[in-house]
Structure 1
């Protein structure tokens, strides 16, 4: 029972840390992409529940090792553990096999592949307006409903060279009350200026968010300068299907995206700029996207500067749209859903309830042993 309680505490702690400025991958996403069936339990218990389950499995293996060392029988312990594993995999598989979609749309994804050291170069800034027009026209020719571009694609309050031929959702910057924010900017059809925006609220310490100290202390530390965070809500309402938006490592915060799903978000959009990090980080990022798709019962679109640019469906299956570190526009069919998962509905309440029960049971057993003693 102590192991059960400690596992729940660890799981709940990871959920809390995922809302901090730290980019926390945690234990939960380590199941992916290898074991989607067991990860399917996240649809009920979320990332924290998966963390607790994996810790308990580790404790089970440790108990078997101790029993073997002491030459005790492991038959009962081994049998019960295997039984729990089989049942857990079956439940996880059954959960991700049930997906209720309302409709599908074709979406174009633009992987810009601009190294961060070139993002503010004069040659790139000169070519950017034409590149945006070309990408929008290419997306329209494919029959796509709208085009998505990665985090930081547009300059602050940048306008388009020509009115958008289809809706354009792009990462960029904007000024709000004299403060600069990193945002997802929405350009409706026929607009040259953005119509809607949702701001990044979890900023990278020092890299994006700089303490309010004399500017010379941090001169040259950040390419984008000091940014200000936006509102914590990840719900975006625009002329298209409502979305839950994660800008870069906000994807690690499943709780905020679950709130967006409860408000009516029918899909999850993740935009990022992972340059200059290697492909290994992209794989970890995709694992996070798989976890979000499973626990929220939503398709997840990942659009990043150098990759990953992929579709992750609500069962955690991944379809690569553009090869990493290559510039290009790809299209994908995205499913939209109003289904509310168990995790979106209950959050961490099952874990909290389980922890309370475990604490009461531990206290009861301790009092009983003291009384007998």
Structure 2
């Protein structure tokens, strides 16, 4: 009987020795696996480590965790939980240029052509706040009065021909409306469109598109710069867009260079029409395309602070959302201030 029991006991031991070893917490435990992938594959995401409590469809739905916005390498669930990166807070609607005007920082250092170190041949002068600059009376008011009191010739581009030429002495050049053409090095196109200012008003020296105000042989042979003072006589004048013009000049001279150039910064302010033709600086973001407004130009709404001003341009480098700083002569349309990008040198974009 003892021998039989011994044999049964021996057979049971042999059977247990041949069975698989069972246990918990050994080296094969997924909770201690340092080689889990970042893609959350079934191999590394056993029910032990990814129970429905921690990875329910609510917190990891395709809507909030698409492959495009939540790549495994840069945007793990730890750093991009639905709370911090929900579509509500990062949708194009809330981050469009129109609604995100605070990202536009006006270039309050930009002074257009009034920059002596500039590479353009017509750059020059020392830009200063208008309140700190005192200009002399160069006689420009005589041109304004001559236009107002004269009889424009309807058959000659509404030009007023004066019986006695007016003499202008020491008018300050504040801008040029044309840029020089590299293909015509013998012609200085910028000299044919000059914005002039004195103590009383602003007048433009300009005979019109493709024309020159200088008689043959009398055009200046050097580039007239912003900050220069000039003198001349004029016998033909007119008005265009509310600004008086000298369209025929003689005896033109450059008297001095590097003078102070006055300007007013109206960013975030109402722009008074009393400054028509004078240099202004306005910086903001283009928030609306209002369509064509003459030739190839488009009129945009320039939002600066809580103010809006029309910005007119034919440039391919501006569009809704562009941050623009304008520094040039103030224009107008329908009795409202308008920023006309006549010369690309008047605009800085970022």
Using the size of structure 1 for normalisation, the TM-score is 0.23
* Structure ranking higher in strand proportion: 2
Higher relative contact order (CA 8 A, sep 6+): 1
- Comparing both structures, which one devotes a greater share of its residues to helix? 1
Larger Rg: 2
Structure-2-length-normalised TM-score = 0.24
